[in-house]
Every structure is written in structure tokens, then in C-alpha cells.
Structure 1
Amino acid sequence: MSFSRRAISLCAAVTLSYGVISPAIAQAQDFNGIVDSVHTHAADDASAKMAPLGSYASGQLAESAAEIVAFHAGSKRILTVNALSGEIDVLDASNPQKPTKIGSVSAGADKEINSVTVREDGLAVAAVQQSNKVLQGEALFFDAAADDLGAAELGRVTIGALPDNVHITDDGAYALVANEGEPSNELDAAGTAYVADPAGSVSVITLPAPGTVEAATQADVRTAGFEAFDAPGALHEDIRIFGPVNHHNKPSLDLEPEYVASAKGKAFVTLQENNAIAIIDIASARVEKVVPAHIADHLQVPIDSSNKDDKAELRTIPVKGLSMPDSIHAFTSGGKTYFATANEGDAREWGVEEKDGGSGVYTDEVELADVIDNGQVCEGVLDDVEAEALGDKKVAGNLKLSNVSGWDEEKQCFDELYAYGSRSFSIYDEAGNVVFDSGSDFEEITASLNQPGVFHHNADNEDPDFDDRSDNKGPEPEALTIGHIGERTYAFIGAERVGGIFVYDVTDPANAKYQTYINNRDFTVDFDEDNYDSTKLAGDLGPEGLAFIDKQDSPNGEYLLVVGNEVSGTTTIYEVESVVEKEPSTSGSTKGSSNLSRSSLSSR
């Protein structure tokens, strides 16, 4: 057989004490957002550790009430996107152990804010989506340090449809907005085409000079589109352009920017559903190229592919993983530019579900067992024994696959099988070549922590059931940011489903090394969105956005990480500490579990 199982030994749970933090700031009667036992894990030679300091709770569950976060050093304020209310919640973080809401900035009735960022002088930019997502969006400018937040808005400009992420370049000269341009939720009467599909694009907005806290004008907005890639053969064959039967198949409409970062005059944009990354020259507002994103080979990189085997077990199987990156952050090392991505994965599903079984719905998702049972695997891809074993739900039968990638139209079968997400984070050089991927690290770490009633490997971000997400993107890494501590550079990656933050030393990008993992979650608490008082005791659910704070900007003089958690509606502040300063390692990556051990961080 061409696939094998890798069981994660849990004997360490018997011989080692469980890694927890008991925060000194915990209050006996009044829950402050920090759970009693914060789950931790660290490499033997970890050079950094984290501990939660304080948390703000919106009081809203499963409503995206705390998504993208930003920090303004001058006013010591955290900006948290509250998509439920269509506002930016402004938190006073002068005491990071007790962030407190002091006001909000509103997008207006029936509008949604998807992202926010802020310049050093306090000029903040928010990405505003219209109630009808196919209409053009807005970039909203406001003064993050305003005394009267109700009057903080400075103006707006019109940008592309469904602005999903906004970023300001390091020099403060430009705001860049990734306009996703998702299709309508409705299909035509025949159910074979979208009613509307606006173009995806990136808005390049020239900002007023730093120190001038004013709105840009419409004349300052330029658009980097993808029309040049509509020509046949203009895109790499691994880049996904797809949709319903009568889909237009035009890259300029189908490419969907998700997240944007920049360094040294270049913007790097994830095109998540397309499994691609765009590289843009900012000065000319021109897309220079579109490169395919990482694809994992799960014959080499094991995954936990079954949610029905009652085990935290990783296997190698003849399936590939489309990284389909979400968050992206650029950085420099040794004078060279790199960017890192959180490889979430994402199926495409649009259309109004109909009573007769949903013929009006388009989706590119299918289960592996159905592909095998329907005889849709091309001859030679699997032999009979492999097909029977792989289709077992206790192996990989429920694993979610794309029904687009790997499909041979001429043969009417799959010559390769592709799952969503690579369950990893990747580092690329400035040309778009992968120099590092974390492989199976995330799942191996959470599997090693698995302990019934204590920590649940591959749990969802709502119900904490063990193994629930193994068939569908696993831990689902989504949030990512980069921070510099002394002479070292670290990547922080948030796992949307099981929760928690993974930390890697990326000072030497090609030899990035796992450092530590921390999860402020109580897996014994059931999720009930109608019972906030009990559910809040679960802690942080669904990390969506991260912001790193340098110690020179920090309200307490220490390195901090701010995390927005969309399901729990909490904004939580962690302190990040360097354990030891040492020279960058060139000895190779730390894939696998052999060098991982549990450890306890000292109480704060």
C-alpha cells in the first residue's frame, strides 16, 4: 500500500507534568478571559515564550465581533474589527492586563468592516464592505488618537468590491487594499452561472505625508487589476480558475485577493481560492506576476485525515494539499525580502440552496469516499486495495477534496487528489519560491498534547469535540504576523479551529525553527451561543487577526502580541519574552515531533 500511519505517542502525558500557566492576574470570582490552565508546548531549545496578560470581551459569540486587530503606539489604543456591529472597537490598552473599550468608529448602517490598520501618526484606514458585497467598497479614514471617536472619521474613497484586507507600507506612503471581488450568493435560474462576479483587484492609495492625519482623495486611488492575465496561457497551470458550468473562466474576474503585505516597494497578495500569490509593483500599481502557492505532498507530509478513528493519528496518503494561503506578512533577512503565509485552505460555495436538494448551489467540495465510490479516480492512481483502504472513514473517507483540481476533463476522472489547506505555514523568497514549510508540525504538536477532557486535538472553534476537524483542514492556520525581538525574527501563526498561537524563529528563513505553542482555551466548556455567561469560560475561540507590538511602543515596556478571536469575540494580549539570545541556526528545520517536549512557563 502507498500510504502509512504515524501514531503519535501519548506516553509523555503519563511521565511529564502538563504544560500550563496559572496567571497571577486570575481573579477567583470574576473571569477575566484567561483560563485557569493555559495549554503550552515548547521545543527543548526554545528561545521565546508567551503568557497571556489580559483580555477584552465584546460579549458576542460566533458573530465575528473581534477579527483583525491593530495597535497605535501614540495613544496606546488597540483597534479591533467588530464585523457584527460594522464598527471598529477602540480599546484603551495603557494597562495591558485590562484592555477597556473607550468607543468605536462606525462604517454606517448595513455596512461591514473587514480590516483595519494604522500609521504611526494615528491615520487609520478601514476596509468597508457594502451590504451587497458585489458593489464597490470603501476605504474609511479616521484618526485613531481622536479624543471624540464619534467624530474621528476623516473621509472615504471608493475602491473595489468586497475589500477584505488593508495594509500600510512601512514608509507610510501607501495604503494597499485587497478587494476580493467574490461572486454573488445567487446563481442564475439554470443554476449554471453566477448572477454577478466583480473583478478582484488591489487598490493602491497614495496617503498624505506622514504627520498629516487627513483622508486621501479619490484622485489618490489607483487600481491594480488582473486583466493582463486573461490571455490564454498567461497563468501557471496550477493556478485555479473555476466555477459553475457556465463560468466565464476569466482570471480578471476569478482571481480573489484575500490579504496583502509589502516590503521594499513590492506588494505580496494572497489569492486564496486560486491557490496563488500576486506580486505587485506599488509605485506603478501594476501586477507583475502571479505565482502558484505551495502544494503539500501527503505521501511525504503526514496528516490526520480521519475524524472517525477516535485517534490523534497522522498518516501518509496519496493526496496533495492545496495551501490556499490566507494571511501574509513580508519581512527582510540578510538584506533579502521574504514573505510568510498561513495556509488555511478554503472551498468555494455560492448559491441559494433549494428545497429540492440544492441544485442552485455551486460548490467545489467533495468527499474522498464519494470520489472512489463513483469510480472517478483515474486508472493507475490507486489500486483496488489502496482505494478500499483510503475510502474507509476511519482512514480518509470523509476527507474534503476539491472537485476541480486534479480533474482530467478528457478522461472524466481525477488523475490527482487535492485536499484543502496544507495545515502549515510557508516562507517564500521575493520571487515566490518556497524556501520553508512547517509540514506536519502543527498537527504533530497538538496530537502530542491530546488528552481527553484536557486538550482536544483538531477540535472545532465552537464545539470542543476531539478530532472533529481532522477530515477538513485540521487546525486551519489562518492568522499570521512577524515580530522582531532583539536580533531575532519570529513568526506567529494562529490556528483558527483548535485555537492557539504557534511561534517560529524565522531569522534564517530557510531554516525556520519551531519555538513554542500556547492556547488560552478550556476544552471542558461546551459552546452555547445563547448562554454567554457559561461559554465565555472557554477562553479564546477562533484566532483571526494578530498584531505584534515592539517593546519601545508597548504600554508596559515589553514585547506584546494582540490576538483578535472571532468566535469568542475576545481581544487578548500576550507578553512575548526572549528566553536566550543566540546566533541564527543553520542546522536545518525542526519538522517532526522528535525534538518537541512539553514545558511549563513560570507564572506571571
Structure 2
Amino acid sequence: MMKKYALSLAAMLFAAGLSACSGDDGSDGATGPAGEDGAVGEPGTNSVLIELSLLGRYVSGLTEESAAEIVTYDPATKRLFVVNAAEVSIDVLDAANPSAPAKLGSIQSEGGSANSVAVSGGIVAVAIQAGTKTDNGKVEFYNSSSLAKLGEVAVGALPDMLTFTPDGKAVLVANEGEPDAGYAVDPVGSISVIDLRAGVAAATVKTLGFEAYNDRADELRAKGVRIYGPGSSVAQDLEPEYIAISPDGKTAWATLQEANAAAVIDLSDIASPTLVDIRPFGLKDHSIIGNELDASDRDGRINIRNWPVKGLYQPDAIAAYDFNGKTYYVTANEGDDRNDFIPGEETKRVKAAALDATIFPDAATLKLDANLGRLTITPYGAKTNAAGELQELLVLGGRSFSIWNSDGAQVYDSGSEFERIVAQRNPGFFNASNDNNNFDDRSDNKGPEPEGVALGKIGGHTFAFIGLERIGGVMVYDVSNPQNARFVQYLNTRDFTKLASDPTAGDVGPEGLHFIPADNSPNGKPMLAVGNEVSGTTSLFQIDVVELK
């Protein structure tokens, strides 16, 4: 039976210790001790506990300029390849000594800026958006050792993320196809499949668009897919963000973040891939136990509780793994708006919205700043009455991570655990943002904002590593059993005694995460590489293992 929400033992222990920051009693939860950032697990037969610790860090010296975004690793050369948007390049770091990663050189983008990087079999693939981002982009290929360019192919508009298939014989590209400001030009979103079986020089590309769904907009909306760009067709409105490929290489899911949905791609024939479905992620009900959230940045306290609010999961990163012969997908439920593009912006605060009095009889109380008044919502896709008054409050993002089966059903969601754990570990900087240290700053808008996710297998167990874009840090969960994920550790290497813009503030704004298994690692132990967008740092975390029999 599918669980809408599964609460692990570790989370219940946190909930017990954090009773002061949840519930309707309104008590202040900011008075408890911060606790230690160590491994917390659920010991049992054949359990595996792991603990992350900072091993080494490369500091670019460029803060708040997106100098470290997506990161990947080449085991043959022991090099990290890091997207450096500030310098429009890929930084190449020597990680042979993981305690002191050092820059060896860079790959300069040609004709546009790099958005993503991946490596397989000595080949580095780089997604390059065009100088005019609404034009078609390209993927460039380089030798991971010599850094010599091997070739390039054309793909769709704004290639935002790419990944190799497990066998390295193809590359999938999420072409986001964002509009320009004001929606004067809105290219179609698409997914390019680059066939490398005959080598880079003979690579072929098939780009899959969503034009076949243009006459099915009402059907998609009825299913819960958000189609709302002004004057946009379905093909223009769907914007692929991130791709995960099943371990057998036969199926892929691409997140369509703003649409709160995923595209499913059949890869059984790489020469002729097909788009087979668009599946909505649905809504998260924050009024039920386990799905609480802190909704105000102006109440001066930690107040994680139930509210009559529904969350759009809107995942950014996605990753896939197998359990008992079936594929499951893990999503980081970040949330995103189109305020940079839609004239007049997409979002508003609850206190500025007209609410249906039959659904919200206590609207005046809800609209107080200390309650829901400051909460950022979107009216796009929300139910309304005949007068246009909102009958539901939709917030962006789930403030969680989720696990979905291959049919698109949710089998696990971390509910309110991220905010509860952060409240217990960093109460003085609860829901701080990545550009300030202000307590409670992001409670009104997406909270800790989980964005990146990476999966790794250690000791026969599968672990998920989720980066929190705003307050920072990495959440670690054992997801070996998809229906019973267990919290393991939260580690944040940000120094809150310093401004986020200070080059010595540690790691701020984790963006991309990459797991390095022990047999590929430079020191023989599993590692996690993290690119931190705001601090411009690339960090290597060693993962120590304790097996309990």
C-alpha cells in the first residue's frame, strides 16, 4: 500500500525533542540546544551507518557569482569538473589528494555559457546555452585527460542539464527552453538523446519535443499538470529541468519543474527514443500530521505546524535506483516560479489574495503576518470560485524529498523532517537564506529549499544525499527500502559567524552533488563532491562506514 508520508524512527525522535516548535500551542522552539552534526541512525540487523566529514575544499575566491555549480568526477584522471558560470567555463580540479583539491586548468565554453557537465569513459560532456538563450544550444565533448575538444552537436534551446546513460553510450539533455523576459520569445522545451555508439565524431541526435500534447492542454491540466505560460502552447510551456535514467538504461524521467510533472522517456532503442507520458507529481497537504511547515518570517520564532496549505512538489534534481528489481526515483522538492518572465510576477502573498469565505472563514486571522499573511503562494492552477476567489492556497516546493515508483506513485516523502532537523541543529539560523544569516528569513518562501540530490550505494545500502540550497548543508538518508527511508545525518559546513559573501564563510548554497564510490575514489573511501554556488567552493566529504551486525 502506498504511503503518502512515512515517518522514520529517527524523525520521531526529532519530533519528540522538538515538540516546542510544532503544534497549535504556538510555543517557541528556538530555545533548545543545537546538537552535534554526527551520524544518527536506526541500528538493526545488517544496518549500515555512515558519517560524512569535510575532507577538502577548493576555494575559487568568487562569491555570489555562481562560480561552483554542477560537479562531476572522472575516476581515470582523479579530476573534478565543475561548472563555473562566473568565468563561463568548466574548472578542472586535481582531486588526487582529496584533502587539498587544486585547479589544473579550465575548459572554456565556445559561443555560450556552460550549464552542466558529466563524464563517462574519459569523455566530458558539457551543455552550452547559446549567447541568446532562446536559441538552440549545443553539447561539446572533451577528452578528460588532455582536455582536447572531440566534437560538438546541436541540441534544443537552453540545455540546462545532461547525463550519460549507465553504459556511457548515450547522453540525455534537458533543454529547458525558458522564455525571455515578458514572454516575447518562448522556445519549446525538449529532451535531446545523443547516440555515441559510433563515437563522438559520428554522434547523432534525436530531440524529443512535446508538440503532440499541444491539443491536450485541458486534459493535462485536469490531471494536475500546470500549463500556464501566457500565450504558450504545451510544447512551449513544458520546461525539462533534470533527468534521471533507470539503472538498466531503458527508461528516463525528466522533471518539468514549473509544471509540477515529469516526462517519461522510453530508451529501449537509443536510435529511436520516444516520449511516452507526462505524469503530475500532485499536491502535498500541509494540513495533515507529518506535513507541517513554518509559514511566517515575521513571527520571531520557530513555529512548525499544520496550515490549510497545499504544496506543489516541483522537484529540481532527480535520481534513480533499484530495489527488489524495480526502479524508484528520488526527487529534491525545491519549487520554482516564473517571476523573472511573467509580466507582473507569478506569486503573491496570502494577505494580498482574495479568499473564498466558505473555505476560509477565518481568512482575517490567516492573513496576519504571524500566521499565513507573509506566505508566498501562486494563483496559477489553484481552484477558485465564480468570483475568482481562491479556494486553495498553493505554495511552491515541498520542503522535502520524495521517492516515487516507476508508475509515478509516491511511496515516501520526508514531510516536515528537514525543517525540524534544521530547527534542532541550527535554531539560531533556522531557515536562513544563502545571502544572509537572518533567522526565519525563508519560512515564508520554500524554507530550506532542497535542490540537489545524489545517490550512492555503500555496504549494500543505498543512500540519498540532498543539498539544502538556502540554509546550506547536506541531508543524508538511507533509502534502501523506498517505503521506509531513514534519516542518517545532517552536516552543514557553513560558518554562520561570517557573512554569506565572506570568502571564508565555508560552503554556502549547495547546488550540485556527485557521489564517488570507494572503488573510484582517490583514497579508497566513498566520497561526496558538492559544488556551492554562493561561496564558489567545491567540497569533498569523506564517508566513513560503520557496519552493525
TM value normalised by structure 1? 0.82
Structure-2 change in CA distance of 1:205 and 1:91 (3 Å): same
1:228-247 superposed matches below 5 A: 228-232=212-216, 233-237=218-222, 238-244=224-230, 247=231
Q: Partner residue of 1:505? A: 478
Q: Partner residue of 2:274? A: 286
Question: Partners of 1:42 and 1:327 in 2: how far apart?
Answer: 25
Asked whether the equivalents of residues 7 and 314 of structure 1 are also in contact (C-alpha less than 8 Å), the reply is: no
Amino acid at match of 1:304: D
Asked whether the equivalents of residues 257 and 272 of structure 1 are also in contact (C-alpha less than 8 Å), the reply is: yes
Q: Partner residue of 1:596? A: none
Structure-2 change in CA distance of 1:76 and 1:522 (3 Å): same
2:153 to 157, 165, 171: 157
Cα deviations across residues 333-382 of structure 1 (Å, max 9, x unaligned)? 1110011000000111235xxxxxxxx834211101111xxxx2123211
Q: Partner residue of 2:452? A: 479
1:395-544 superposed matches below 5 A: 395-408=371-384, 410-452=386-428, 456-528=429-501, 535-544=502-511
Q: Structure 1 unaligned runs (5+)? A: 20-38, 188-193, 352-359, 529-534, 583-604
Question: Partners of 1:197 and 1:285 in 2: how far apart?
Answer: 25
What percent of counterpart residues are identical? Answer: 42
Question: Partners of 2:518 and 2:166 in 1: how far apart?
Answer: 18
Asked whether the equivalents of residues 383 and 392 of structure 2 are also in contact (C-alpha less than 8 Å), the reply is: yes
Structure-2 change in CA distance of 1:6 and 1:512 (3 Å): farther
SS of 2:483's equivalent in the other structure is helix
Q: Partner residue of 1:131? A: 131
Asked whether the equivalents of residues 8 and 447 of structure 1 are also in contact (C-alpha less than 8 Å), the reply is: no
Q: Partner residue of 1:142? A: 142
Cα deviations across residues 96-130 of structure 1 (Å, max 9, x unaligned)? 00000001111125x111100000x2111111011
Matched, 1:196 2:185: yes
Cα deviations across residues 443-464 of structure 1 (Å, max 9, x unaligned)? 0001112343xxx110001211
Offset at residue 405 of structure 1 (A): 2.3
Matched, 1:308 2:298: yes
Q: RMSD of the alignment, in Å?
A: 1.8
SS of 1:270's equivalent in the other structure is strand
Matched, 1:271 2:256: yes
1:68 to 67, 70, 74: 70
SS of 2:58's equivalent in the other structure is strand
Question: Partners of 1:450 and 1:312 in 2: how far apart?
Answer: 11
Q: Partner residue of 1:183? A: 179
Asked whether the equivalents of residues 114 and 128 of structure 2 are also in contact (C-alpha less than 8 Å), the reply is: yes
Cα deviations across residues 429-452 of structure 1 (Å, max 9, x unaligned)? 111111100000000001112343
Count of aligned pairs between the two proteins:
514
Amino acid at match of 2:266: D
Q: Partner residue of 1:369? A: 351
Q: Partner residue of 2:197? A: 208
Asked whether the equivalents of residues 476 and 489 of structure 2 are also in contact (C-alpha less than 8 Å), the reply is: yes
Higher mean alpha-carbon deviation, 286-295 vs 173-182, is at: 286-295
Q: Partner residue of 1:258? A: 241
Question: Partners of 2:307 and 2:420 in 1: how far apart?
Answer: 16
Q: Partner residue of 2:210? A: 226
Amino acid at match of 1:420: L
Moved over 4 A (4+): 5-12, 43-46
Amino acid at match of 1:122: G
Question: Partners of 1:288 and 1:469 in 2: how far apart?
Answer: 37
Question: Partners of 2:315 and 2:334 in 1: how far apart?
Answer: 6
Cα deviations across residues 179-238 of structure 1 (Å, max 9, x unaligned)? 0000112x3xxxxxx2111000000010136xx6x4453xx1001111121123442521
Q: Partner residue of 2:104? A: 102
Cα deviations across residues 525-551 of structure 1 (Å, max 9, x unaligned)? 0234xxxxxx12210000000000000
Amino acid at match of 2:310: K
Matched, 1:332 2:322: yes
Question: Partners of 1:216 and 1:88 in 2: how far apart?
Answer: 24
Offset at residue 7 of structure 1 (A): 4.9
